[in-house]
Amino acid sequence: MKAHDGMYIGGEWRPAAGPDAIAVVNPADEQVIGHVPAGTAEDVDAAVRAARAAFPGWAATPPAERAGRIAALRDVLAARKDEIAETVTAELGSPLPLSQAVHAGVPVLVAGSYAELAASYAFEEKLGNSTVLLEPVGVVGAITPWNYPLHQIVAKVAPALAAGCTVVLKPAEDTPLTAQLFAEAVQEAGLPAGVFNLVTGIGAVAGQALAGHEGVDLVSFTGSTAVGRRIGATAGAAVKRVALELGGKSANVILPGADLAKAVNVGVANVMSNSGQTCSAWTRMLVDAERYEEAVALAATAVAKYVPGERIGPVVNAKQQARVRGYIEKGVEEGARLVAGGPEAPRDQGYYVSPTVFADVTPDMTIAQEEIFGPVLSILRYEDVDDALRIANGTVYGLAGAVWGADDEEAVAFARRMDTGQVDINGGRFNPLAPFGGYKQSGVGRELGPHGLSEYLQTKSLQF
Ligand code: NDP
C-alpha cells in the first residue's frame, strides 16, 4: 500500500519532526501493509501555525468560491473511489463491496452536500434592527476514529471548509492511509495551502497536543466516551468550542403491528454491517412478548448469512477483538441465551468475531447497556408500548434508533417520545442532510447538513 513518510502541512508533504513510525496492519490477515510517521507536539504545532496563517484568507474567500473548491474535492474523491475503497479494505478489513458503496460512496455524497450548502447557506440574517453575521469559528482540530475512516473525516472537514474554517486533522492510528489519500485529494482539488493539514500519530501524543493547543478554536472529536470526556474537559478549561460524537446503544423498536420479518431482517443487517463497528447501530432489538420467539428465529436465520471472511469482515484490531469477545462472554455469564455465534474466534487468522445474537436479554445486563462495537445483537422482550419506551430510553446513550409500526403515524408517535438524536421510521433511508448526533452521553453537537455547518460558525450582531 502506498504510504507517505511525512505530514501534509501548509500545502506540502513535510518530513515529520520525530523518528517514530506507526505500523499499519490489515486486520483480515494481520500483515503489516505500510508505515506512517507518529506525529509529535512539534508536528501539531507546525500544522496549527499553517492553519492559522491560512485562516484569514480562507474566511474572506466568498462562499461561492469556497463551494467551488469543495465541489472540486468531491470530484477528486469520486474519481478516486476505487483506490479509496481498496485502501479502506486493506486497513479496516471491510469487504470490498461495502468499502465501495459506503466507505468510498458516502463521503462523495457528503462532500457534494457541502459544496451546495456553502453556496446557498445564509451567512447573514436580519433580526429587527440588527444584522447578524455568521462567521467561521477559526482553526478546527479534528480527531477521527477508524470505523468509517473517510466518512468521519469528510463529515468534519467539509462543513468546516464550507464555513470558512481551516483544519488540522489527527486521524485514527489504525486507518491513516485513507487520511493520507484524503490529503492527496485536497492537494489535487487545489485548496489553498494551509486550509487543510494532516498530522498522523497516536491519540495520547498527537491527539492530546491538538486538543490542548492554544491555536485551535474548536475541537471536533468522534470516538469513545472516555476520550470524549477528556477532550471536553481540556477544551472546557481553555474555553474553546467542542463537538463530540460518542457512543450509542440504539434501540430497534418493533411495535406489535409492524412487519416483523422486514423489521428483523433490516435490523440484523444494520447491526452486522461494518462488523458492528457503527456508533449508530441498532444493537438492541425490542419485540413484544407475543411475537418474541418468532423474531428470535428470524434473527437466527438472517445472521447465518454473515459468513466471516465473506459477507462480514474482521474487527479493526486485536484489542477490539478481545473486547468484543469479552462482552460475549459477559452476556453468557449474565444469563442471556446464545442464539447464534459465541466468543470463539471463527477463523485462525485475522481479528474476526462470530456474528452473535443473544435472546432473553434483560435491560439490566451489561450487553444491554454498554456499547460493544462488534457484530453482537441483543434481543429484548417488552410487555406493552410504555414498557418498550422505558427500555428504549433506559441507557446513558441516545444517538439513533428505529421504530417499525403498523403505519408511519404510529411509529412517529413513538419516536417523538424517544430520547435520541435520530430515528428511522419503518426503514427510512439515510439522508446526508439530516442532523446526526447524540442526546445524553452520546455527545454534544450535530454533524451533516446545515446543522453540521452551523457548528463551525459563531455569530456577531450589528445594530443599526
Ligand atoms: P478512541 O476514542 O480511543 O479513538 C478515537 C480517536 O481519538 C482516535 O483518533 C484516537 O487516536 C484519538 N485519541 C485517543 N486518545 C486520545 C487522547 N487522549 N487525546 C486526543 N485524542 C485521542 O477509540 P478506540 O479506537 O480506542 O475505540 C474504543 C471504543 O470507542 C470502541 O469500542 C467504541 O465503543 C468507541 N468508538 C466509537 C466511535 C464512534 O463512532 N462514536 C468510533 C470508534 C470507537 P488513536 O487512534 O491513536 O487511538
SS (H, E, C) 391-459: HHCCCCCCCCEEEECCCHHHHHHHHCCCCCCCCEECCCCCCCCCCECCCHHHEECCECHHHHHHCCEEE
Q: Do 250 and 400 form a contact (C-beta atoms < 8 A)? A: yes
Contacts 24+ apart (CB under 8 A), 73-77: 73/111, 73/115, 73/158, 73/185, 73/186, 73/189, 73/191, 74/108, 74/111, 74/112, 74/115, 75/189, 76/185, 76/188, 76/189, 77/104, 77/107, 77/108, 77/111, 77/150, 77/154, 77/182, 77/185
| Ligand 1 pocket, mutate which of 91, 143, 169, 240 (most atoms under 8 A from CB) | 143
For ligand 1, say whether the CB of 204 is within 6 Å of any of its atoms: yes
The per-residue pLDDT for 125 is 97
Instruction: Indicate whether residue 371 lines ligand 1 (CB < 6 A).
Output: yes
Give the helix/strand (H/E) hosting 43.
helix 41-60
CA-nearest residue for atom 18, ligand 1, is: 204
E-strand ranges in 194-292 read: 196-198, 218-222, 241-245, 251-254, 284-288
Report the alpha-carbon distance of residue 264 to residue 243 in Å, rounded.
33
User: How many angstroms separate the most distant Cα atoms in the chain?
Assistant: 72
What is the number of the ligand 1 atom nearest to the C-alpha of 234? 19
Whether the Cβ atoms of residue 421 and residue 437 lie closer than 8 Å to each other: yes
Residue-level pLDDT at 39: 98
Say how far apart CA 14 and CA 200 lie, in whole Å: 12
Distance from the Cα of residue 207 to its chain's centroid:
17
116 is catalytic: no
Question: What do you get for the CA distance between the two ends of the chain, in Å?
Answer: 59
Q: Which residues of the chain have a pLDDT value below 50?
A: none
- Is 279 catalytic? The answer is yes
pLDDT at residue 351 in the model: 98
Cα–Cα–Cα angle for 266, 270, 276, rounded to 5 degrees: 150
Distance CA 39, CA 197 (A): 12
CA distance 463 to 333: 65
User: Ligand 1 pocket, 224 CB below 6 A?
Assistant: yes
Pocket test for ligand 1, best of 224, 279, 320, 436 (most atoms within 8 A of CB): 224
Strands 376-382 and 356-361: parallel
Is residue 161 within 8 A of residue 115, CB to CB? The reply is no
Which atom of ligand 1 is nearest to 248's Cα? 41
Q: Is 39 in the pocket of ligand 1 (CB under 6 A)?
A: no
Residue minimizing CA distance to atom 29 of ligand 1? 224
Report which ligand 1 atom has the smallest distance to the Cα of 201: 47
pLDDT at 336: 98
**Alpha carbons 218 and 211: distance in angstroms, whole number:** 9
pLDDT of residue 13: 98
Q: Rg of the chain over CA atoms, in angstroms? A: 22
Residue 300's Cβ-side half-sphere holds a number of Cα atoms within 13 Å equal to: 13
Q: How many CB atoms lie within 10 A of CB 259?
A: 15
Please count the other Cβ atoms lying within 10 Å of the Cβ belonging to residue 237: 9
Q: Does ligand 1 have an atom closer than 6 angstroms to the CB of 245? A: yes
State the pLDDT at residue 119.
97
Q: What's the CA gap between 372 and 355, in Å, rounded? A: 12
Q: What is the pTM of this model?
A: 0.98
Strand segments, DSSP code E, in 301-340 are 337-340
Q: How much distance in Å is there from the Cα of 225 to the middle of ligand 1?
A: 8
